[in-house]
Amino acid sequence: MQNETSPRGSLTRTHRRRPVAVAAALAVAAAAVLTGCGGSAGSGVRSEPAPSASLPAKDRKVLWLGDSIAGVEALPLGAALKASGVGFKNDSSDGGGTIVEGDKMSLPIARSTWKQLRKDLASYRPDVLAYQITTYDWGTPEQQRASYEKLAKAAGHAGADLVIVSAPPFKLDDFYKKHAAQIESAPKAAGKVAGAGGAKVAFADASALWGTDSGAAKAQRAPDGIHSCQQGSAAFAKWFTERLGKRYGFTPAPPNEWATGTWVSNQRYAKLGCS
């Protein structure tokens, strides 16, 4: 996807890291920490109807959409889904990714996202379009709801279900503070769209995993207070894959099959100062 540039929500800093140590830590933590991060089988999902029967028995494919927060989560999420026999394409965008056609700042980003999304819906033909609400979903509640409804229609026309995932809690610095009300209203608008969308649209509330305080240990934020490092990203991958598995009838691969893969050494984590 074409990336928009922005002073926030992107990976800009460079740091050294120890990939061997990180991989070892994940190997030790995969069974203990990851197993404890998911909550109960049905937690974290609001406005979710009965499991969809629209997917074929094999060749399921997930198209993943969001900003750079979704980008660092995409690395283990792709590994977890592929290990579970599910295809995965990452359409997240650093410094952008929103589909909300709202204010003068989010609108040009949304137009870029929609342009790429239409191409990938047609070419990749996913069974599930999964959209994580971005830090740029700025607009009025009405604009947000209209954009999420448009996303649901686009997914439906492409033969895909839509799952909207709430963003993790992140640090509201000076850049984000002026958008605090819009950031707060976005998941509420998404929940309403899912509630009215029938069996083809669902909303997953990730506060079951992260909590609501970006400064709490449960939030597992990177040093920048916005993104997640390897362990937090792996926890999300396990949590979300389990929910997709329950909804679409596949068995998620256990973390020891994917949580210490080559994704752990990706340079994105080094730029976040992950150790």
Q: At what angle do helices 230-248 and 19-32 cross, to 10 degrees?
A: 40
The percent of residues in the chain predicted with pLDDT above 90, rounded, is 74
Closest CA relative to residue 10, chosen from 240, 234, 209, 170: 170
The answer to whether residue 18 scores a pLDDT higher than 70 is no
Q: How would residue 149 be classed by pLDDT, with cut points 50, 70 and 90? A: very high
Q: pLDDT by residue (tens digit) across 190-216?
A: 999 999 989 999 999 999 999 999 999
Closest CA relative to residue 90, chosen from 114, 67, 59, 60: 67
In eight-state DSSP terms, residue 128 is: E
Q: pLDDT by residue (tens digit) across 175-194?
A: 999 999 999 999 999 999 99
> Helix, strand, or coil here: 238?
helix
Higher pLDDT, 96 or 187: 187
Mean pLDDT, residues 35-54 taken together = 41
> The tokens of 21 are what?
């140590």
Mean pLDDT, residues 140-156 taken together = 97
pTM (two decimals): 0.84
Q: What is the per-residue burial (b if ≥16 Cβ within 10 Å, else e) of 138-153?
A: bbeeebbbbbbbbbbe
Helix (H) or strand (E) run with residue 19 in it: helix 19-32
Q: Answer positive or negative: Cα dihedral of 246, 248, 254, 258.
A: negative
- pLDDT of 103: 87
What is the C-alpha separation between 78 and 76, in angstroms, rounded? 5
Tally of CB atoms within 10 A around 213 = 12
List strands edge to edge, sheet with 201-204: 45-46, 201-204, 161-165, 128-132, 61-65, 87-90
> The tokens of 166 are what?
């709430």
